Chains A and B, each alone.
Chain A
Amino acid sequence: MIVDRVDIGTEEFREATGWEIKPQGACKGDVCVALPDTGFSLLTTAESLGMAVVSDDGVWAVGPETLGGRALTSADASDVHLPDLDGHEFHISSLRGQKVLVVSWAPY
């Protein structure tokens, strides 16, 4: 995720990363990670989740979590969304009830 300020809220964090902030900590699927007593803040929460943070000229890029040393922390994909070719946000969860093949491709 890219942000132009570090004081973002939990909703924006959830939108971009799929991690929801609950009383027990940051949660994705059935995995929860306890946060410091100070609660949610982008930089400390990123640290707790093993997310790299790189800043450059007023912009921060927060990389994905590295818990367990694997790209996936859980098999839950209900948070996944991307825009369609007309710019409308498409949610994988809208296909609940169907089996889905997600095919990544490129023109290069």
Chain B
Amino acid sequence: MREQLHPKGLEVVDVCLEMAGPDVARPFVEAAGSAHPSLIDRSHYMDARFGVTNIPQVIWIDENSTIVRPPEAASPMPVGEGAQNMVKMVGGMEERERYVAMVNDWVENGADSRYALSPDEVVARSHARPRTGSEAVAHFELAQYWWQREGLSERAIAHFNAAHELQPDNITYKRQAYSALAMARSGGEDPDGWTRFRQAPQADEDWPFVSDFNKDMLRFRPELAARLKLPGSRSD
């Protein structure tokens, strides 16, 4: 999509939300083989700055550096084979195609596109942020700060847990923490790419986080948890 639309004035910037830095992002970016800018976001600045809460999410910014669509779940350009397979499994190709059509409409029609929102709409549609949301960011940044210096110390874990409790719908904060734990326990090895993808404790694993995927599903989406027959759900 980028290669088709770049001559018409569209650029893509991909941002990897990963505390462990560019060495982790690089193989994925190289596999995607695109010429667009690729950035690294160790502290999940995208969450703080724009209200990103999950990945992948996409923001539209116009020729004047003005946001015309705030973050929304979309995967027009899954980066790397793993992400592409994930989109095929989970994302739904129809939705992906619909989204690409929206982008095409914007490239063709610019500000006249019905998908390009006014500044007031952009602000109004951006993620809710009560005071607790700002606190969540502060705690996540402290978690990352301590993690970078001393690994998953008690205080790093305490700050991750605070961030998770203060903003429970922030999935990047959770999955990043779980990934850091899994990588620490595997001695930094991730041969098939799935180690980073850990979402919940295995068997009797000592799990330092207050949340995990299963617990969150039971707490926030009990019907879906039951359909998925998660441990502890009504169908378990």
Contacts and interface: CB of A to CB of B under 8 A. Distances in A.
Interface string B175-200: 11011000000000000010011100
A56 B45 CA distance: 20
Contact of B136 (A50, A63, A69, A76): A63
- Chain B residues touching A, range: 35 or more
A61 B10 contact: no
A108 B196 contact: yes
Contact of A100 (B28, B60, B134, B175): B60
Interface string B1-33: 000000001111111111000101110110000
Contacts of A98: 9-11, 63
A106 B11 contact: no
Contact of A75 (B79, B119, B178): B119
Interface of A: 1-2, 18, 50-54, 56-57, 59, 61-66, 68-78, 80, 82-87, 90, 92-93, 95-108
B175 A106 contact: yes
A39 B15 CA distance: 35
Contacts of B202: none
A59 B231 CA distance: 40
Given A59-B145, A98-B11, A70 B124 contact: yes
Contacts of A84: 37-40
B222 to A, nearest CB: 25
- Name the residue among B9, B61, B123, B131 with the largest chain A CB count within 10 angstroms: B61
Interface string B55-95: 11111111111111011000011110011000000000000
